[in-house]
Structure 1
């Protein structure tokens, strides 16, 4: 996928200098960290070029011009630690002493107007999580494994799901060719008939919870009965896992098969995230995947590390969950 903007080295360094002034730890108190980043905006310290880039992304989303964007040569921390894959989250907290990557993701979210979302039972409730191969999940269907991933939404089985996902390439080995695929929900609709869409809009499907969610909360097994198609082109679907609910009508099974065929036929975008790339895309108004196109050194490929955020579409979408934030932290929900 072609980047919509490539920062010059001078722009990257200018933005990194501004972000370096945020002397707060996002893993200790996200609200304080978020306010510190917001203060940069309020004081007019954010370079004009980046304000303009974020305005373009916001405009593309509002007009429907694009649901996926890539920025290249983004600012990163001066030292990117190599993480222990037995427990990379704890190792990151122990080793990572600067937070330029986190401040960059927070700034992007604020300028685009997409409040961040976190889950209290995952990764200590952190708003900045890691897509990295955790040893105990090797070979499993989870973003925290070394596996390929079928087309899906993140947190498909969960009631509260992000509208957008941001992935920042912290360490992306050059000799390994791992791509993130994206299919726009509108392109899926083009391959589904009216009756198939009607069946997919009815609550007659279920999705099992992912292995990480089950590990963190033993009460989680399978979702409530849910529709697959919502709004105009939002899909709640995990390929090979979402299925018809017990007792569902035959037409629901036919519609599910039609969706599987549509997913094969629809136009797709693929992007190989490089170190310093920011890839942002719709989580519900599209589906995404991980494709390992060429792995030359499996051990090196397992060190691929993306810093990740979930986000609501806008303040109104976040506001629909007022009253259910956990620990009094806006944006943090339970399972």
Structure 2
């Protein structure tokens, strides 16, 4: 996929030097960390070119022009530590002592007016998730594995789901070729009849929780009954994990099969994230996947490290979930 913008080396250095001034760890005090970056924005410290980039992304989203964007040659930390894949979260707290990547992700969320979202029962409630291959999930259907991922929304089975997902490449070995795929809802719906879409908008379906969600919360088994297509044309679906609820009519099975066929045939875009790539896309107005095209070194996939954030569409949407906030922390939900 063609990048939306490629930073020059000079622009990259300007952003790096600015973000390098943030010495507060988001893992020790997220609120203080966030306030530091918000203060930079309020005081006009952010270089104009990045303000314009984020403004243009926001405009394309609002106008329905594009829901997936890539920024290339972004600043990342000068030292990317090797993590203990038995417990990468706690190991990161010890080893990662600069916060360029986290600052860039937070700044991007602020400038695109998409407040960050986190889950209290995942990764200690951290707003910056590490997409790495944890040893215990090797070969499992979860983002924290070395396996491929089917087309899905992140957190499909949960009541609070991100509107946007952003991925930043910290370590992307040359020995592996992994692509993130994205399919827009319009390209799926164009292959479905009006009657099928009508059925898919009914509460005939359920989605099983993934293995990681089940382990972090024993109550997580299966979602409530839900539609696959919501009234605003967003999608709630995870391939192989979304199925027809037991008491649903026969027409629901036919509609699910039609949806699966349309998903298979729909036009898709794919992007290989390299180090310094920032990929941001809609989590609900499309579906995404992870595909391994080539692995030349056995350990290369395990050493891949992307940093990820979840975000709400805007503050109005975020405020609707205020009853879920934990410890009065904006965006931290109990789900």
TM score, norm. by length of structure 1: 0.99
Q: Give the alignment of 1:1-335 within 5 angstroms.
A: 1-335=1-335
- C-alpha offsets along residues 202-261 of structure 1, whole Å, 9 cap, x if unaligned? 011000111111111111110001111013321100001100001110110000000000
Deviation at 1:323, TM superposition (A): 2.9
**Gaps (5+ residues) in structure 1?**
none
Which secondary structure state, in structure 1, belongs to the residue aligned with residue 300 of structure 2? Answer: helix
Q: CA RMSD in A?
A: 0.7
Counterpart CA distance in 1 for 2:129 and 2:53 is: 24
Which secondary structure state, in structure 2, belongs to the residue aligned with residue 261 of structure 1? Answer: helix
Deviation at 1:37, TM superposition (A): 0.5
Deviation at 1:75, TM superposition (A): 0.6
**Gaps (5+ residues) in structure 2?**
none
Counterpart CA distance in 1 for 2:286 and 2:244 is: 20
Counterpart CA distance in 1 for 2:231 and 2:43 is: 38
Counterpart CA distance in 2 for 1:323 and 1:236 is: 22
Counterpart CA distance in 2 for 1:118 and 1:236 is: 19
Note if contact 1:128-1:309 (Cα within 8 Å) is conserved in structure 2. yes
Which secondary structure state, in structure 2, belongs to the residue aligned with residue 252 of structure 1? Answer: helix
Note if contact 1:119-1:125 (Cα within 8 Å) is conserved in structure 2. yes
Counterpart CA distance in 2 for 1:295 and 1:198 is: 42
Which secondary structure state, in structure 2, belongs to the residue aligned with residue 275 of structure 1? Answer: coil
Note if contact 2:133-2:301 (Cα within 8 Å) is conserved in structure 1. no
Counterpart CA distance in 2 for 1:31 and 1:317 is: 20
- C-alpha offsets along residues 275-321 of structure 1, whole Å, 9 cap, x if unaligned? 00000000000000000000111212211000000000000010101
Which secondary structure state, in structure 2, belongs to the residue aligned with residue 300 of structure 1? Answer: coil
Runs of 4+, deviation exceeding 6 Å: none
Counterpart CA distance in 2 for 1:34 and 1:144 is: 26
Note if contact 1:189-1:233 (Cα within 8 Å) is conserved in structure 2. no
Counterpart CA distance in 2 for 1:174 and 1:37 is: 33
- C-alpha offsets along residues 148-167 of structure 1, whole Å, 9 cap, x if unaligned? 00000000000000000000
Note if contact 1:225-1:245 (Cα within 8 Å) is conserved in structure 2. yes
Note if contact 1:179-1:271 (Cα within 8 Å) is conserved in structure 2. yes
Counterpart CA distance in 1 for 2:170 and 2:260 is: 33
Note if contact 2:152-2:239 (Cα within 8 Å) is conserved in structure 1. yes
Deviation at 1:191, TM superposition (A): 0.8
Deviation at 1:44, TM superposition (A): 0.8
